[in-house]
């Protein structure tokens, strides 16, 4: 039983998002009524998984993938991507479950990805992009992180860590998901860069990112360090390593 050929799957990774998940699901389904939603919950101690099951029981467009423990944002998305590809979805969306990504901007992302036949990344660090309510240190980490990654990886993108994206599934299918090794947010950098290297057309759409309306960030120093380490490692390989990569035979 595959998805219809135009179908959109919005993946929402959750870890302790009890307070925000219902509003995010309702708003995104209002903005894109034809979308299906996959909540990927990592056994949240606050009961987000059970709440997601109730949302799924009330609306056939919602499905829940339960994982036994906190496995990181990257592995949650990889599980979601595998689900999307197995079910035959055409467009796959990444979105946070904490209210930071505005549902009303979702149609713009999907349209942009369709227009270019590739991916659209909701970008903060481009003209027209905005961040509301983030403390100075979070802005600094995001801005510096994306700059370091851009230089290290010789990327043309301006917001490599953004987690608000729409990706044509035909490009996802070409990604070597097993080669994405960041468990945490470094996954966003790696996956964007791998798509870029594959030749996937990528458009950056300015978004307004709003600090989460409830709950707590899962960002840790370990996650930042892992992302930095993986970026530098890949940058090194790019310059000094033997030719390799997803496009190599």
Ligand X SMILES: Nc1nc2c(ncn2[C@@H]2O[C@H](COP(=O)(O)OP(=O)(O)O)[C@@H](O)[C@H]2O)c(=O)[nH]1
Q: Site residues (CB under 5 A) for Mg ion?
A: 96, 98, 100, 212
Nearer to ligand X, 44 or 118 (CB): 44
96 binds ligand X (CB under 6 A): yes
The whole-angstrom separation of Cα 177 and Cα 248 is: 15
Nearer to Mg ion, 82 or 130 (CB): 130
At closest approach, how far in Å is the CB of 163 from Mg ion?
Answer: 8
Kindly write out the interface string for residues 145-164 of this chain, putting x where it contacts ligand X by CB under 6 A and - elsewhere: ------------------x-
At closest approach, how far in Å is the CB of 177 from ligand X?
Answer: 16
Binder among 70, 90, 143, 174 for ligand X (CB under 6 A)? 70
Residue 18 partner contact from ligand X, Mg ion, none using kind-dependent CB cut-offs of 5 to 8 Å: none
CB 75 within 8 A of CB 188: no
Three-state DSSP string of 50-83: HHHHHHHHHCCCEEEEECCCCCCHHHHHHHHHHH
Residue 42 partner contact from Mg ion, ligand X, none using kind-dependent CB cut-offs of 5 to 8 Å: ligand X
* DSSP 8-state class, residue 85: H
The whole-angstrom separation of Cα 20 and Cα 226 is: 27
The whole-angstrom separation of Cα 216 and Cα 15 is: 10
CB 99 within 8 A of CB 213: yes
Question: 212 — phi, psi (to 5°)?
Answer: -50, 145
Nearer to Mg ion, 83 or 134 (CB): 134
The residue ranges that bind ligand X (CB under 6 A) are 13-15, 17, 40-42, 70-73, 76, 96-98, 100, 163, 212, 217-219
């Amino acid at each position: 039983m595959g998805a219809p050929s135009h179908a959109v799957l919005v993946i929402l990774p959750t870890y302790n998002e009890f307070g925000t998940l219902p509003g995010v699901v309702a708003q995104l389904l209002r903005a894109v009524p034809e979308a299906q939603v996959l909540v990927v919950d990592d056994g949240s101690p606050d009961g987000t998984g059970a709440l997601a099951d109730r949302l799924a029981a009330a609306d056939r467009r919602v499905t829940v993938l339960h994982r036994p423990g906190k496995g990181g944002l990257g592995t949650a998305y990889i599980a979601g991507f595998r689900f999307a590809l197995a079910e035959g979805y055409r467009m796959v969306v990444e979105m946070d479950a904490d209210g930071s990504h505005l549902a009303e901007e979702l149609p713009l992302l999907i349209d942009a990805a369709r227009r270019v036949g590739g991916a659209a990344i909701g970008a903060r660090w481009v003209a027209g992009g905005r961040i509301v309510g983030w403390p100075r240190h979070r802005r600094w980490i995001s801005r510096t992180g994306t700059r370091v990654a851009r230089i290290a990886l010789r990327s043309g993108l301006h917001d490599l860590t953004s987690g608000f994206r729409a990706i044509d599934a035909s490009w996802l299918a070409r990604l070597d998901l097993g080669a994405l090794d960041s468990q945490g947010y470094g996954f966003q950098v790696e996956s964007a860069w791998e798509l870029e290297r594959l030749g996937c057309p990528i458009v950056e759409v300015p978004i307004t990112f709003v600090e989460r309306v409830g709950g707590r960030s899962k960002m840790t120093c370990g996650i930042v360090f892992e992302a930095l380490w993986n970026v530098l490692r890949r940058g090194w390989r790019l310059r000094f390593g033997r030719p390799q990569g997803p496009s190599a035979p």
